[in-house]
Amino acid sequence: MLEGDQFVKVAKIKRPQMIDLILEQLQNAILDGQLPVGTRLPPERELASALGVSRASLREALKAAALMGWIEIRPGEGSFVAKATSEKIIQPLSYVLMFDTENIGNIMELRSILEVETAGLAACRRSEEHLSEIRETMQRMEETASRNVEEFLEYDMLFHKKVDKAAGNPVLAKTNLILRELLREANRRVARLTEGRSTAIAAHHRIFTAIETRDEKAAREAALDHLKTVAGFVLDETRARANLIASPGAEVKGLAKPLLSHTERS
């Protein structure tokens, strides 16, 4: 690419495309308040002729707008201006991170940062209802530990989801969810080990107790220990796998440098 010579700084002339213009106009209309949330857009055929474009072009724009979360298209009904939700806002993150999945160590570090703070926030903000939801999930998780690995994993995920909820920040919750999904395969390998399941249960217990007593510091410490343990499992697994694939002695990417060094703080 290397756009441009080093002498003239001309923006490459790009003929504006209909779809983009439509998209822009739609965006402006929503931002100007001309189209409040919930407003129903005119039918495609009508809107297309009003804008002076074909229905096909308009549809490409509408589809794009829908994927970006601006509108919701309901077959047989019409298109409606949608509310921006935390899911939609943070969704693009997952698209970007998808290209980095081989870099498990870095994702792990990011996750540990966020989960630690999340646990701390949950300890501060949790309500009684939050607490009982977390407790219930934890108990179900313990029950399934010796029975079904997949079910255990689901309750593991759910536990963290409930903690996220208690932390009261939907954007944070969604981000955590994405990171956990990215690491789901790694976690699955850990959960297959009996030792992995029992240590996870113990860690969740500590986290729960800390949240119950509103002890922010303890919650953060418990979460950090948990994540360190999981990271240890995962990285051992990963390293083992990597060594099977790469030449022996080859460095596993992203794991050579100090990982989780933010451990030694506070």
Q: Which residues bind a second copy (CB under 8 A)?
A: 2, 15, 19, 27, 30-31, 33, 56, 59-60, 63-64, 67-70, 75, 83-84, 86, 88-90, 92-93, 95-101, 103, 106-107, 109-110, 113-114, 117, 120-121, 124-125, 154, 158, 168-172, 174-175, 178, 182, 216-217, 220, 245, 257-258, 261-262, 265-266
Stretch that binds DNA, among 47-55, 183-191, 218-226, 254-262 (CB under 7 A): 47-55
- For every residue of 5-19, DSSP letters joined together read -SS--PPP--PPPHH
Site for DNA in 65-104 (CB under 7 A): 73-79
**What is the Cα–Cα distance from 234 to 254, expressed in whole angstroms?**
13
**What is the Cα–Cα distance from 168 to 126, expressed in whole angstroms?**
8
| Nearest distance, CB of residue 204 and a second copy, angstroms | 17
**What is the Cα–Cα distance from 115 to 99, expressed in whole angstroms?**
22
> Which residues are paired to 72 by β-bridges?
80
98: partner contacted, choices DNA, a second copy, none (Cβ within 5-8 A by kind): a second copy
State the sign of the Cα–Cα–Cα–Cα dihedral 186, 192, 226, 241: negative
174: partner contacted, choices a second copy, DNA, none (Cβ within 5-8 A by kind): a second copy
**What is the Cα–Cα distance from 191 to 193, expressed in whole angstroms?**
5
Give the count of alpha carbons within 13 A of 9, CB side only.
0
Give the count of alpha carbons within 13 A of 154, CB side only.
8
Nearer to DNA (CB atom), residue 19 or residue 138: 19
25 near DNA (CB under 7 A):
no
Nearest residue to 69 (alpha-carbon basis) of 93, 92, 53, 41: 92
**What is the Cα–Cα distance from 178 to 100, expressed in whole angstroms?**
13
Nearer to a second copy (CB atom), residue 134 or residue 199: 134
| Nearest distance, CB of residue 24 and DNA, angstroms | 12
| Nearest distance, CB of residue 76 and DNA, angstroms | 3
249 near DNA (CB under 7 A):
no
Helix (H, G, I), strand (E, B) or coil at 40: strand
Task: Among 24, 28, 37, 43, indicate the residue that binds DNA (CB under 7 A).
Answer: 43
117 near DNA (CB under 7 A):
no
Q: Are 211 and 219 contacting, i.e. CB atoms less than 8 angstroms apart?
A: yes
Task: Among 25, 34, 38, 45, indicate the residue that binds DNA (CB under 7 A).
Answer: 45
| Nearest distance, CB of residue 142 and a second copy, angstroms | 17
| Nearest distance, CB of residue 195 and a second copy, angstroms | 26
45, containing H or E segment: helix 44-51
Which H, E and C letters describe 235-251, residue by residue?
HHHHHHHHHHHCCCCCC
| Nearest distance, CB of residue 68 and a second copy, angstroms | 6
Contact residues toward DNA (CB under 7 A) are 15, 17-19, 41, 43-46, 52-57, 59-60, 62-63, 73-79
